[in-house]
């Protein structure tokens, strides 16, 4: 079968779609799985992708890594699981479903019906997991798509139950109260893991408020807060014993204020006013903040009446700003009923009786909790509204007044505030108005700051006292031990240190969320006695169920059905209900090393696949999220075993995909690039190469989306694509890195393939012909084959080390050598006519064939589509017994016997000296088409001299010279200058170095260069003392006369003879003519093998003479049967050019 005629202009996306159809038709993936069944296992564990939106190019980096490694380990003969994962449960899905229905509160969901709501969440997950699967297929991601795992699956949820029961049995599960960041709209607390992701710069109204000190006339504590809504919950005032406080007498009303002395003239947010907050500027509509001095000065001035140490204020009591509210008068705090408080808190005072000045002391790192800073050095403390305040409250017996319900609104007991949303600015205004009326307000101002927001709804978070379920982290040392067993890659990311850091400092893990769609926490709590049980499996639940099993049976363990089940309290015998909370979604993803590998149902299977060999994910965030969850949950599952297994052996992280200007891309402003847009405009192989070649530590500047430029993509069979699968309009995507990749890698490979294929077709090359033995092939053949073996070794080593970037570097370098040296140097072997028994031509074909076929296999895991296309045409269609797909082939192994180090070294030397030759020509403005009489190569290095000898023909041709000779030195053909080699001389002579360099500059350069050249020790007089220098201590540079063009580097000197004879000049002109004729042939659209009649007409005498002298040469090069000097009638192509300033008219016609 003849080889394909290859068009150098290739449409890669179209080619990729064809290859996808081929794989589909041939069922290639399943053949691969069958072929590898029973072989040694290579285990990959997929981190679940959130099945809530279509894929963008930022997802494709990790998925390319996953596919590339799977393909490599399949080709090296391993059995794989190919299980993809979808992350299904959690608030993010609920939010989208809420949006579709226009819900904004939890009540609306409840009246809609929990059963219908969770069904819709499931449906949404199914919709987007299907979309993501289709997109992944287009990326070439080979997975067992019918066997993907879903974190909402029963096995996943029940395995988490197993985990939670283990935690409970070991005493790590507990119920606690805490003040948590809370989203009113989402109706949910946020774990500390999530909060970091939603910080925004906003402007709030902050207030200075005065608290009248009890027992003193007209004296006040001055406090400051950015959250006025917390003031109704005020319980105490915190100071620092390390601070000095001023007594300031205001002239306005004679009131005496206490606040930290440092704050009087403190320039608040002065730096932010000038420089902004990080990369965000100071908000335009917010004036510069006033100092306290200014505030008091502007209302009539003040006097300072002395200072007092903070410690002396401890124990003072004061009147709170909202003591009239019922909430302030409720014993033990508000709004919890007294009998539900922990017993030791039931005798605590009510809020209004607790108003005391106290010193909370220092945190665990030794710094004071209260500092002067932005406020007044007196901190308003509300244990029901603040995180740290709550901790203080427990320690100092300060009751918590919890004002908010689960929607973030004030509950009963707060007077006119009841029903208001804490996060609304109007609530702050209402509080401020009230304070003003009652004479508590000193000043209010606009205050910009970074404030946490709900990362899904965008609403500001408030702090709310809640019951939540926690896993204590007292076993963090065990998690660390497992963590240390993992190989964290890339090493420079220091992943192990970062994870250990997190494990050291993390707080107990809050695992509950007061929502609907998620893991049902298997905790059944008895209302009457407070006892709770944790259920570890479906079977256990059935056994314990005393009510509701019939309703539940046939449903997944989700709300609302699982809530129907009641069990009998083991303590008091009453009915216990499931706590309504659902689980933190990182529990869902964290269990997959156990759930997806059938830990509970087929322990033998788990045993074979865990620990996984590899997981790979995007780094940012995952130390606190998936990495943390999977490591800690796996550790718990291993508790009690003698030898604890890590869930995986290697973890490979990578950075983010950003736009070309290194900005994060956003869906909201249209800059996020959808997967299809990129795939069809850039090509998937190009993208895959970009991802693999990128150092994993550095963000990948992918490209730009132009939301204003809509494009239509021409698909197969006249089909056009205008929208993504999700209905977004497809827009133009540009990418300089992709263009570069396509040009330098894919096009070079394609062109090399096209070159081979087009000539092999003309010549009828038969790949099954007996191989020309290596020792009968040219040196350059054995060189490229030797380098090919070295490449195989290097690529394999790096794949095994999970290091893709060096694989790409090595392949690209080889491809470059192949294209710009091997093929370039051997073109004439392919051009010349076929003749019987021409083993040299056959050797060239066989060499290039082997290189391309092997290269295709090497690159197949990274660029599976082009590799497949090339393989199909070079191998599958040519050799009947060959595997049907490149991906069914065995990955190449290094054959050390074909490596010839000496040859590789000499070829490297040759490439170097040819480069020097070109640079010498360029420097002397002698273009390569102009033949020169001779080249002299001088070097001490025998590889260089050997190269000149061995590759004589290549040097003559490549540098267009008539003769090449070597010398050990060119000392007598040049003038020299000297320089001291400080690297070698420094350690020997130390302080004398400067003086020696000076002496060397003054010495006789020629004489010393001669001595150095002969390897002699050089003696210099330095400051009256003799100093001896070894030859390596002196660097010699040379200058050559006007007859020679010289270039030197690394001990190699190349000299080109610049003197031109008449003959050389004519030959140069003839080569110019040939080149123009070739251009004319190409423009006339002639085929490579077409013969022509040629006419060359010129007035230039020298040119005419040159054409005459070199007629045979010109004819042979241009396939001209005759060369005329008169016009040809009906010429197929004509052109007017200038050769050496003479006009030349070229006419050609097909012969």
Partner RNA sequence: GGGCUCAUAGCUCAGUUGGCAGAGCGCAUCGCUGAUAACGAUGAGGUCCCAGGUUCAAGUCCUGGUGGGCCCA
Hey, which residues between 979 and 1038 contact RNA (CB under 7 A)? Answer: 979, 981-983, 986-987, 990-991, 993-994, 1035
Place of tokens 């997950």: 125
CA of 974: how far to CAs of 1017, 1043, 1052, in Å? 22, 11, 14
Instruction: Please give the C-alpha separations between residue 587 and each of 164, 607, 1012, in angstroms, as whole numbers.
Output: 10, 22, 72
Q: Which of 265, 601, 820, 1121 binds RNA (CB under 7 A)?
A: 820
Q: Which is nearer to RNA, 92 or 502 (CB)?
A: 502
Please answer whether residues 258 and 220 qualify as being in contact, where contact means their C-beta atoms are separated by less than 8 angstroms. Answer: yes
**Window 389-428: residues binding RNA (CB under 7 A):** none
**Nearest approach, Cβ of 752 to RNA (angstroms)?**
5
Q: Which of 1135, 990, 1150 is nearest to 1077 (CA)?
A: 1135
Candidate segments 337-345, 618-626, 1011-1019, 1058-1066, binder of RNA by CB under 7 A: 618-626
Which residues touch 833 (CB under 8 Å, ≥6 apart)? none
Nearer to RNA, 133 or 985 (CB): 985
Name 248's Cβ contacts closer than 8 Å, sequence gap at least 6: 256, 257, 258, 259, 264, 296, 302, 303, 304, 305
Q: Identify the residue among 577, 919, 934, 1011 touching RNA (CB under 7 A).
A: 919
Q: Of residues 337-376, which lie at the interface with RNA (CB under 7 A)? A: 363, 365, 367
Sketch the per residue contact string, 269 through 308, with RNA: x for CB under 7 A, - otherwise.
------x--xx-----------------------------
Q: Which residues contact 554 (CB under 8 A, 6 or more apart)?
A: none
Q: Measured from the CB of residue 34, what is the shortest distance to RNA in angstroms? A: 37
Q: How far is the CB of 269 from RNA (least distance, A)?
A: 12
Neighbouring CB atoms inside 10 A of 181's CB total 21
Residue 1148 Cβ vs RNA, minimum distance, rounded to whole Å: 8
Q: Which is nearer to RNA, 477 or 501 (CB)?
A: 501
Nearest residue to 244 (alpha-carbon basis) of 396, 375, 371: 371
Q: Closer CB to RNA, residue 272 or residue 677?
A: 272
The correct pick among 214, 1082, 1112, 1151 for binding RNA (CB under 7 A) is 1082
Identify which of residues 316 and 623 has a Cβ nearer to RNA in the complex. Answer: 623
Nearer to RNA, 536 or 931 (CB): 931
Indicate the residue among 85 and 1068 with the shorter CB distance to RNA: 1068
State yes or no: residue 502 binds RNA (CB under 7 A): yes
Of the ranges 81-89, 503-511, 517-525, 565-573, which one interacts with RNA (CB under 7 A)?
Answer: 503-511
Binding RNA by CB under 7 A: which of 55, 870, 1086, 1103? Answer: 1086
The one among 881, 1087, 1130, 1141 contacting RNA by CB under 7 A = 1087
Q: Distance between CA atoms of 64 and 692, rounded to whole angstroms?
A: 8
**Residues facing 925 on adjacent strands:** none
CB 431 within 8 A of CB 231: yes
Q: Output helix, strand, coil percentages for the chain, rounded to the nearest 5.
A: 45, 20, 35
Between 754 and 1123, CB nearer to RNA: 754
Closest CA to 854 of 812, 899, 886, 817: 886
Of the candidates 1099, 262, 951, 150, the one whose C-alpha atom is nearest the C-alpha of residue 595 is 150
Contact residues for 159 (Cβ-Cβ < 8 A; gap 6+): 591, 594, 595, 599, 600
Task: Decide: 181 and 285 in contact? Cβ < 8 Å.
Answer: no
- Interface residue with RNA, options 975, 1078, 1122, 1125 (CB under 7 A): 1078
- Shortest distance in whole angstroms from residue 387 CB to RNA: 8
What is the closest distance, in whole angstroms, from the C-beta atom of residue 861 to RNA in the complex?
A: 23
Neighbouring C-beta atoms of residue 530, cutoff 10 Å? 12
> By CB under 7 A, which span of 172-180, 543-551, 835-843, 911-919 interacts with RNA?
911-919
Restricted to residues 798-817, the positions that interact with RNA (CB under 7 A) are 816
Q: Which of residues 163-222 bind RNA (CB under 7 A)?
A: 192, 196
What is the footprint of RNA within residues 573-592 (CB under 7 A)?
none
Q: Residue 583, Cα to own-chain centre: how many angstroms?
A: 29
Pick the binder of RNA from 361, 580, 620, 793 (CB under 7 A): 620
Work out whether 907 is an interface residue with RNA (CB under 7 A).
no
Q: Is 15 helix (H, G, I), strand (E, B) or coil?
A: helix
DSSP-based three-state secondary structure for 361: coil
| 25 versus 365: smaller Cβ distance to RNA | 365
Which segment (30-38, 130-138, 463-471, 1068-1076) binds RNA by CB under 7 A?
1068-1076
Residue 386 per-residue DSSP state: -
Closer CB to RNA, 199 or 729, in the complex:
199
Which 719-778 positions form the footprint of RNA (CB under 7 A)?
Answer: 736, 740, 743-744, 747-748, 751-752, 754-755, 758
* Residue indicated by tokens 């049980």: 533
Is residue 1141 a contact point for RNA (CB under 7 A)?
no
Residue 824 sits in the site that holds RNA (CB under 7 A):
yes
Q: Which of 915, 946, 1013, 1100 binds RNA (CB under 7 A)?
A: 915
Q: Which is nearer to RNA, 435 or 848 (by Cβ)?
A: 848
Number of Cβ within a 10 Å radius of residue 125: 22
CB 1134 within 8 A of CB 1147: yes
- Rounded to 5 degrees, φ, ψ at 437 are -60, -40
Residue 523 CB, nearest approach to RNA (Å): 25
What is the per-residue DSSP string for 127-159?
Answer: HHHHHHHHHHHHTT----GGG-EETTSHHHHHH
Q: Does 572 contact RNA by CB under 7 A?
A: no
Of 235, 203, 216, 548, nearest to 380 (Cα)? 235
Judged by beta carbon, residue 1078 or residue 1122, the one nearer RNA is 1078
Token pair, residue 771, equals 């191989």
Q: Of 83 and 584, which has the nearer Cβ to RNA?
A: 584
Residues 6+ apart with CB under 8 A from 1145: 1095, 1096, 1097, 1098, 1134, 1135, 1136
Our CB check for RNA shows the closer of 748 and 1093 to be: 748
Size of residue set near RNA by CB under 7 A: 73
Among 1074, 1096, 1103, 1106, binds RNA (CB under 7 A): 1074
Binding test (CB under 7 A) with RNA, winner from 516, 889, 1071, 1110: 1071
Contact string 41-80 vs RNA (x = CB under 7 A) = ----------------------------------------
Q: Which stretch binds RNA (CB under 7 A): 57-65, 257-265, 327-335, 619-627?
A: 619-627
What's the Rg (C-alpha) of the chain?
40
- Measured from the CB atom, the residue of 809 and 879 that comes closer to RNA is 809
Q: Which of 467, 478, 1090, 1105 binds RNA (CB under 7 A)?
A: 1090
In the region spanning residues 674 to 693, those forming contacts with RNA, defined by CB under 7 A, are none
Query: Which tokens belong to 936?
Result: 């002299």
**71 versus 825: smaller Cβ distance to RNA:** 825
Taking the CB of residue 923, how many other CB atoms lie within 10 A of it?
12
**Of 436 and 824, CB closest to RNA:** 824
DSSP string, 1014-1079: TT--EEEEETTEEEEE-GGGEEEEEEE-TTEEEEEETTEEEEEE-PPPHHHHHHHHHHHHHHHHHH
Q: Which of 823, 937, 1012, 1110 binds RNA (CB under 7 A)?
A: 823
Best CA proximity match to 320, nearest among 165, 189, 213, 207: 213
């Amino acid at each position: 079968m003849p080889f394909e005629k290859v068009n150098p202009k290739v449409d890669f996306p179209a080619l990729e779609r064809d290859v996808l159809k081929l794989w589909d038709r041939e069922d290639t993936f399943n053949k691969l799985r069958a072929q590898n069944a029973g072989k040694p296992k290579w285990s990959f564990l997929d981190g679940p992708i959130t099945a809530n939106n279509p894929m963008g190019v930022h997802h494709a980096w990790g998925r390319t890594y996953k596919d590339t490694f799977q393909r490599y380990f399949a080709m090296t003969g391993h059995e794989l699981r190919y299980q993809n994962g979808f992350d299904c449960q959690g608030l993010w899905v609920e939010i989208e479903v809420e949006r579709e229905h226009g819900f904004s509160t939890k009540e609306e969901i409840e009246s809609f019906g929990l059963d219908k709501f969770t069904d819709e969440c499931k449906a949404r997950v199914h919709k987007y997991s299907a979309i993501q699967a289709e997109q992944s297929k287009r990326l070439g991601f080979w997975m067992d798509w019918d066997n993907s795992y879903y974190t909402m699956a029963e096995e996943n949820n029940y395995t988490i139950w197993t985990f939670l029961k283990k935690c409970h049995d070991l005493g790590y599960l507990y119920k606690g109260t805490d003040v948590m960041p809370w989203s009113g709209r989402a109706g949910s607390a946020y774990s500390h893991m999530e909060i970091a992701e939603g910080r925004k710069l906003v402007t709030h109204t902050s207030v200075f408020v005065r608290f009248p000190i009890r027992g003193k006339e007209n004296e006040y504590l001055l406090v400051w807060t950015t959250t006025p809504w917390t003031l109704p919950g005020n319980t105490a005032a915190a100071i620092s014993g390390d601070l000095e406080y001023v007594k300031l007498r205001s002239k306005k009303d004679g009131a005496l204020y206490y606040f930290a002395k440092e704050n009087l003239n403190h320039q608040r947010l002065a730096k932010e006013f000038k420089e902004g907050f990080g990369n965000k500027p100071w908000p335009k509509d917010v004036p510069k903040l006033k100092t306290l001095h200014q505030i008091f000065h502007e209302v009539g001035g003040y006097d300072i009446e002395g200072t007092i140490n903070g410690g002396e204020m401890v124990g003072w009591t004061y009147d709170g700003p909202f003591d009239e509210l019922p909430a302030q008068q409720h014993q033990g705090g508000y709004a919890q009923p007294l009998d539900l408080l922990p017993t030791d808190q039931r005798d605590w005072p009510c809020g209004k009786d607790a108003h005391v000045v106290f010193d909370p002391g220092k945190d665990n790192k030794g710094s004071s909790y209260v500092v002067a800073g932005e406020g007044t050095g007196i901190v308003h403390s509300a244990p029901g509204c603040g995180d740290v305040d709550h901790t203080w409250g427990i320690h100092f017996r300060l009751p918590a007044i919890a004002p908010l319900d689960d929607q973030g609104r004030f509950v009963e007991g707060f007077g006119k505030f009841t029903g208001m949303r804490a996060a609304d600015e109007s609530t702050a205004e209402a509080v401020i108005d009230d304070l003003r009326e009652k004479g508590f307000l000193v000043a209010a101002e606009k205050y910009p700051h970074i404030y946490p927001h709900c990362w899904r709804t965008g609403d500001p978070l408030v702090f709310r006292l809640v019951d939540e379920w926690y896993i204590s982290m007292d076993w963090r040392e065990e998690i660390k031990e497992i963590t240390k067993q993992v190989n964290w890659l890339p090493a420079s990311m220091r992943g192990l240190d970062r994870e250990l850091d997190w494990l050291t400092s993390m707080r107990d893990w809050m695992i509950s969320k007061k929502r609907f769609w998620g893991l049902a926490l298997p905790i059944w709590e008895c209302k009457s006695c407070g006892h709770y049980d944790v259920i570890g499996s479906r079977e256990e639940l059935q056994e314990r169920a005393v009510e509701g099993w019939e309703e539940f049976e046939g449903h997944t363990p989700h709300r609302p059905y699982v809530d129907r089940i009641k069990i009998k309290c083991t303590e008091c015998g009453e009915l216990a209900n499931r706590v309504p909370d659902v689980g933190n979604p990182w529990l869902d993803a964290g269990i997959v090393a156990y759930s997806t590998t059938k830990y509970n149902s087929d322990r033998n299977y788990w045993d074979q696949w865990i620990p996984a060999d590899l997981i790979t994910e995007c780094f940012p965030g995952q130390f606190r999220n998936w990495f943390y969850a999977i490591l800690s949950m796996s550790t718990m599952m291993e508790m009690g075993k003698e030898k604890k297994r890590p869930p995986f052996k290697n973890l490979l992280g990578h950075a983010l995909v950003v736009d070309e200007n290194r900005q994060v891309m956003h869906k909201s402003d249209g800059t996020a690039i959808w997967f299809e847009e990129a795939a069809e405009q850039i090509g998937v192989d190009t993208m895959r190469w970009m991802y693999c070649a990128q150092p994993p530590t550095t963000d990948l500047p992918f490209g730009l989306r132009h939301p204003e430029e809509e494009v239509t993509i021409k698909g197969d069979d006249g089909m056009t694509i205008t929208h993504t699968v999700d209905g977004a309009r497809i827009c133009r995507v540009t990418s300089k890195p992709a263009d570069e990749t396509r040009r330098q890698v894919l096009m070079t490979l394609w062109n090399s393939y096209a070159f081979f294929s087009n000539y092999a077709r003309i010549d009828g090359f038969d790949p099954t012909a007996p191989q020309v033995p290596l020792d009968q092939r040219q040196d350059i053949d054995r060189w490229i084959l030797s380098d090919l073996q070295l490449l195989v070794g290097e690529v394999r080593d790096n794949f095994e080390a999970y290091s893709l970037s060096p694989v790409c570097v090595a392949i690209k370098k080889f491809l470059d050598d192949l294209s710009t040296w091997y093929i370039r140097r051997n073109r004439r072997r392919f051009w010349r006519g076929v003749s019987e028994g021409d083993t040299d031509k056959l050797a060239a074909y066989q060499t290039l064939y082997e290189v391309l076929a092997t290269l295709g296999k090497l690159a197949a895991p990274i660029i599976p589509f082009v590799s497949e296309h090339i393989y199909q045409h070079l191998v599958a269609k040519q050799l009947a017994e060959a595997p049907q797909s490149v991906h069914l082939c065995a990955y190449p192994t290094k054959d050390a016997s074909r490596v010839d180090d000496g040859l590789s070294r000499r070829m490297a030397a040759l490439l170097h000296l040819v480069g020097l030759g070109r640079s010498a020509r360029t420097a002397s403005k002698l273009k390569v088409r102009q033949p020169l009489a001779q080249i002299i190569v001088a070097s001490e290095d025998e590889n260089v001299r050997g190269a000149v000898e061995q590759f004589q023909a290549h040097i003559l041709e490549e540098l267009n010279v008539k003769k090449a000779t070597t010398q050990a030195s060119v000392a007598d053909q040049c003038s020299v200058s000297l320089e001291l080699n400080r690297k070698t001389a420094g350690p020997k002579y130390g302080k004398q170095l400067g003086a020696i360099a000076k002496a060397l500059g003054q010495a006789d350069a020629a004489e010393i260069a001669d001595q150095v050249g002969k390897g002699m020790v050089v003696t210099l007089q330095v400051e009256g003392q003799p100093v001896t220098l070894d030859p390596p201590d002196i660097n010699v540079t040379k200058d050559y006369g006007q007859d020679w063009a010289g270039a030197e580097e690394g001990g190699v000197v190349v000299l080109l003879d610049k003197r031109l004879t008449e003959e050389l000049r004519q030959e140069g002109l003839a080569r110019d003519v040939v080149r123009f004729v070739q251009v004319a042939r190409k423009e006339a659209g002639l085929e490579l093998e077409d013969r022509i009649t040629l006419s060359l007409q010129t007035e230039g005498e020298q040119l005419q003479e040159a054409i005459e002298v070199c007629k045979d040469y010109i004819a042979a090069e241009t396939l001209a049967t005759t060369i005329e000097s008169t016009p040809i009638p009906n010429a197929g192509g004509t052109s007017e050019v200038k050769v050496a300033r003479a006009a030349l008219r070229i006419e050609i016609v097909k012969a």
